Amino acid sequence: MHFTYATEGTCSTKIDFEINDGKISDIVFTSGCNGNLKAISKLVDGWEADEIAAKLSGNTCGFRSTSCADQLAKAVLAAKEKEAAGAN
């Protein structure tokens, strides 16, 4: 299932990815720190949503109370919830 998440409080504006049986793949950030976000996307590709959230939740960026990684954690948990509800 394709999922798009509108980020809040970060340089990136949205995150797109696939979720299938709780596993996340094909993560693409729009805007933000290109090299770092490509690296994060590659590192967590194929991980379970819960694994990503456990590693990345609460990560901050500079003076901000969130980060692109933290937003990814929120996004994958929202996608997991939507997938469990059977919504497309």
Can you give the pLDDT at residue 8? 97
pLDDT tens profile 6-56: 999 999 999 999 999 999 999 999 999 999 999 999 999 999 999 999 999
Name the band, by pLDDT with cuts 50, 70 and 90, for residue 87. low
Structure tokens at 73: 């954690």
Beta strands in 1-88 (DSSP E): 2-6, 14-20, 23-30
Domains, the chain:
2-84 (3.90.1010)
Per DSSP, the residues of 51-77 read HHHHHHTT---TTSS--HHHHHHHHHH
User: Considering the entire predicted model, what is its pTM?
Assistant: 0.95
Residue 4 has pLDDT above 90, yes or no: yes
